[in-house]
Amino acid sequence: MHPPVPLRLAALVTLLIGAHPNPVSAETEKHPFVQDRLAIGMWVPPQTDVDLESRYREIADANFTVVIGTAGTNAAGQLALCERHGLRAIVSSSGPVESFPDGPACWGYLLTDEPNLSAFPELAKTISTLREKRPGRLGYVNLFPNYASPEQLGSPSYPAYVARFVDTVKPEVLSMDHYPLMRPDADRRDAYCENLEVFRLESLKAGIPFWNYFQSMPFADHLDPTEAQVRWQIFTSLAYGAKGVLYFCYWTPGRGNGGTGEFPKGGALLTAEGRRTRHYDEARRINGELIRLGPTLMSLTNTGVRRLKTSTNAANPIPGFPVRSVTRVGSDPDSTLIAGAFNQRDGRRAVLLVNHDIAHTAWPTVTFDVPSTTVFEVDKAAGRLEPVVDDSPELPGLQLSFGPGDGRLFLMPPKP
């Protein structure tokens, strides 16, 4: 069993991808919050009131798009900071809804974290009032992960807990946190994927986006993640159709009494004293890629997720899936790819391939269900659509290379 989820609520290049990712429709009327960009956010914003201007510039420089929660200033001050630095905010607010601050940078309001099922009816009332008093603003609620106990959930079944939340509260965004163990002696990433699958299905059913928090710092028995482990969590979420990826945490929470608190190691993107760790530069690098992939990702609807193994997939292609096979090159070891399939509004399709190995590269031969000459890749360095390039042109077929935990996004014509 994972430890209890910590830290309760207290505290571009535009691609030619067709229509706006959130066109006005009956569904938009039903759910008035419009997510206009990929949500790249975090838990625990700067825990200081010193030089907040440079602190929010620092957030923008790391290619974040949204700040969740309020610290170091009041909600109105935070909205002003975010507006000046091109960020969006989901601010902490209390009191009557009519008193909640608003402004161009405001995406919405942080209502609660990890509610029990018994809290859903009251949350539904609050969100209904928000829709009336603050139309277009999100009433943001973050749910438990699938390793929470039945007592925490108020339900013996995790899928039933999530479904009841959607049916009762009628949220505009689904959100949860899940921090998989990634230790040499314990790899629990399968549970992370199972959690994402529950959210994928519920978000598609409701016609709303989903976001999730992932681990970006050490705590308890969770080791300090490598860049490859951070990449795997992010790109796997995106392969399941996530429209938001949220770092836990940006600023290291206070360590507590002489190192006896929950985070004695520190190690978030910034320390508790505000010093950058190696994770800040890792996040800036990864988030820059996400910014460039974002316009395409926001235009896609997930149609399924598969694990493709080079040892079995060549002999057992998946009917109707955009990737027919992945095969091993020469004497390379077998590898596994997580493959998310998508439809685009203009009829084209997409597939996001993720190297499931967080320690070694993958270099499979990939066969799509259309000629490779008709396949394009979204260039993570420039944001442009480029014809797919064979990474080993001297070998037969199309070879694609993947760093540990890394992902690549490909677009292709409609289904033949």
Looking up tokens 């039945």 gives 150
The tens-digit pLDDT sequence of the chain (416 residues) is 333 333 333 333 333 233 333 333 344 344 489 999 999 999 999 999 999 999 999 999 999 999 999 999 999 999 999 999 999 999 998 889 999 999 999 999 999 999 999 999 999 999 999 999 999 999 999 999 999 999 999 999 999 999 999 999 999 999 999 999 999 999 999 999 999 999 999 999 999 999 999 999 999 999 999 999 999 999 999 999 999 999 999 999 976 545 556 788 889 999 999 999 999 999 999 999 999 999 999 999 999 999 999 988 777 777 889 999 999 998 999 999 999 999 998 899 999 999 999 999 999 999 999 999 999 999 999 999 999 999 999 999 999 999 999 999 999 999 87
pTM for the whole structure: 0.91
For domain 302-412, the CATH class is mainly beta
pLDDT over 70, % of the chain:
91
CA dist 275 and 113 (Å) reads: 27
CA dist 204 and 241 (Å) reads: 9
Range(s) within the chain of domains with CATH label 3.20.20.80: 26-298
CA dist 177 and 246 (Å) reads: 9
CA dist 412 and 28 (Å) reads: 28
CA atoms within 13 A on the CB side of 195: 26
Q: For 335-384, write each residue's pLDDT tens digit.
A: 999 999 999 988 999 999 999 999 999 999 999 999 999 999 999 999 99
CA dist 351 and 339 (Å) reads: 7
pLDDT value at position 173?
Answer: 98
Q: Strands (DSSP E) along 279-416, which ranges? A: 300-309, 323-327, 336-344, 349-355, 365-368, 376-378, 385-387, 407-412
CATH fold of 26-298, please?
TIM Barrel (3.20.20)
pLDDT value at position 255?
Answer: 61
Q: Cβ(130)–Cβ(109) under 8 Å?
A: yes
Q: For 230-240, write each residue's pLDDT tens digit.
A: 999 999 999 99
pLDDT value at position 256?
Answer: 53
Looking up tokens 């289904």 gives 415
Q: Per-residue DSSP letters for 230-289?
A: HHHHHHHHHHTT-SEEEEE-SBPPP--GGG-SS-TT--SSB-TTS-B-HHHHHHHHHHHH
Range(s) within the chain of domains with CATH label 2.60.40: 302-412
